[in-house]
Amino acid sequence: MKKEDNNDDNSFSIGLCLGVAMGSCIGSATGNMGLWMPVCISLGVVFGFIFQNKNDDNEEDNNAEDDEKKQENKDE
């Protein structure tokens, strides 16, 4: 498994855990655990995928910049 793949898994896991934590807090505060747990878990999963995609885009940009620098060095 590549190191980049591990980072993607972490983004999803962190989002899911934050969703569970927020759902538990809001659900216990309002007394409506059945509503807030699934809502916050869903939001956590969505944010996890958003962070995962941002990491993928940043890695692709960095790889493109590295390729351009290598090409410039070859041309010189």
What pLDDT digit, counting tens, does each position of 10-49 carry? 888 888 999 999 999 999 999 999 999 999 999 999 998 8
> What's the predicted TM-score (pTM) here?
0.61
Q: What is the mean pLDDT of residues 64-72?
A: 61
Q: What element of type H or E holds 2?
A: none
pLDDT in tens, 46-62: 998 888 877 666 666 55
Q: Which of 53, 19, 65, 67 is nearest to 39 (CA)?
A: 19
DSSP state of 12: H
pLDDT for the residue 1 = 46
